[in-house]
Amino acid sequence: MIKQRNFFLIASLFLVFCLSPVAFADYEIDHIGELDLPAKTIIDPLDSLIGHREEDLTDVYDEEGNYIFGSCMGISVGDRYINEDNHEYEVIKVEDGKAVARDKGKIELLSGEALAGSIDQLPPLVQGKDSNKLVGLYHTHSAESYAPGPAFKPERGEIYDVGAMLKEQLEKKGIKVVQSEESFLPHDGAAYERSRGTAAALLKDGASAIFDVHRDAIPRANEYMTKVKGQEMSKIRLVVGRQNPNMNTNEELAKRLKAVADKKYPGLIKGIFYAKGKYNQDLSPRALLFEFGTHVTTEQAAAKSTADLADTINTVLYGTNASLGGGEQGTDRAMGSASWTNLLWVLGGLIVVGVGYLLLNEKGLSGVGGRLKEFTGEEFANILGRNRKKEKKRDKNSKRK
């Protein structure tokens, strides 16, 4: 009997921790300083792709031959893309610098409670004191630069200046920002491995979210240039790494950013690319990669888009009522609807284990029914007994008076 109880306890603990990846993600943020990141990690083959060079370009078409988008981050079968009009595509074939994707139709960016209200009523992903309004920025591809100069500057790319402008615009919204000035050169396939420690350090400092700031390398400036409320600027593409346990929450963040930007700043967000790889997003449920323009657009065009993105980030993370003077104390709501999904999985798993345990010990469904009847009967009797004792005690007290 003791062995069976131990088995039930172990199985329950296993379900609680293994069926709740979001719980692990939160633990990692809360205790990131206690984790020992390995000096050397195994690099995924696609993470080894250098990326963001014009020679890495793959153009993606639909099954009728219509152009959808291009990417210099490596395209794999299973990658997905949500375009500006919120049509979703899934890559089904890749060959010789060209890929084919299937149109999955137009999607809703928001779901559940987020879909029920307007953008102005969208619940913030993070609630907390002002001290928790902290965002981390870093630049894995440290040499990335813009026209009219070279695409890469070996000492320090212009991408740091775009990051500094985003930092300034976020700070105007009352958000504290830590921008890492660390360089991760050379520009090679191991850059994400080298930047991993910096991403972890930003989380240890208490960042609500971390953003890896890049620029694209497609050679067509017209794909990124746009006008938002009359101002010419470059679009921004959001990238979600689809090979990490936080993909669902990273995706929720990306979709909310695009939904808010589509409403407030139409044309700002070019799309959402779900790329094979992690891009260090396994470290946090609020981690994304931003592509500000491309190497044939200018730094100034990228910098102009930072104000609108900063306002969008503030709205999504901290709410439309987030002010310079203070934040509402509360609990972290980063997981949104994803946390409820995980909780239901855990509860369902515990029920399955419990039924299995009873079947094992009570020899069939009739035995389980008898045990439950016996249990509920005892509990009911105990409750009645407690109530009767209370009534007798009250009667005695009343007689004394």
Contact 239, 164 (CB under 8 A): no
Of the pLDDT bands very low, low, confident and very high (cuts 50, 70, 90), residue 367 is low
CA nearest to 135, candidates 78, 202, 61, 81: 202
pLDDT, tens digit (0-9, with 9 covering 90-100), for 265-311? 999 999 999 999 999 999 999 999 999 999 999 999 999 999 999 99
Residue type, 307: A
Contact 293, 301 (CB under 8 A): yes
Distance of CA 138 to the CA centre of its chain: 17
CA nearest to 201, candidates 167, 176, 178: 178
Q: Which helix (H) or strand (E) holds 306?
A: helix 306-318
Sheet of strand 67-71: strand arrangement: 67-71, 58-62, 98-106, 87-95, 80-82, 269-275, 236-241, 287-294, 209-216, 134-138, 176-179
Distance CA 297, CA 120 (A): 33
By CB neighbour count within 10 A (0-12 exposed, 13-18 middle, 19+ buried), where does 30 fall? exposed
Tell me the average pLDDT across 95-116. Answer: 86
Distance CA 152, CA 215 (A): 11
Contact 127, 317 (CB under 8 A): no
Structure tokens at 148: 């009219």
Position of tokens 């928790």? 132
Contact 284, 278 (CB under 8 A): no
**Res 254: pLDDT:** 98
User: Three-state DSSP class for 95?
Assistant: strand
> How large a percentage of the chain has pLDDT more than 90?
60
Structural domains of the chain sorted by starting position, each given as residue range(s) with its CATH number in brackets: 31-331 (3.40.630.40)
pLDDT, tens digit (0-9, with 9 covering 90-100), for 19-38? 444 443 443 334 343 333 43
Structure tokens at 346: 């855990």
Tell me the average pLDDT across 148-159. Answer: 94
How many residues are recorded in the chain?
Answer: 401
Query: At residue 74, does pLDDT exceed 70?
Result: yes
Structure tokens at 191: 């850059």
Of the pLDDT bands very low, low, confident and very high (cuts 50, 70, 90), residue 230 is very high
Instruction: Write b or e for each residue in 107-128: b if 16 or more Cβ atoms lie within 10 A of its Cβ, otherwise e.
Output: eebbeeebeeeebeebebbbbb
Q: Where are the alpha helices (DSSP H) in 19-148?
A: 21-30, 112-116
> How large a percentage of the chain has pLDDT more than 70?
65
**Res 328: pLDDT:** 34
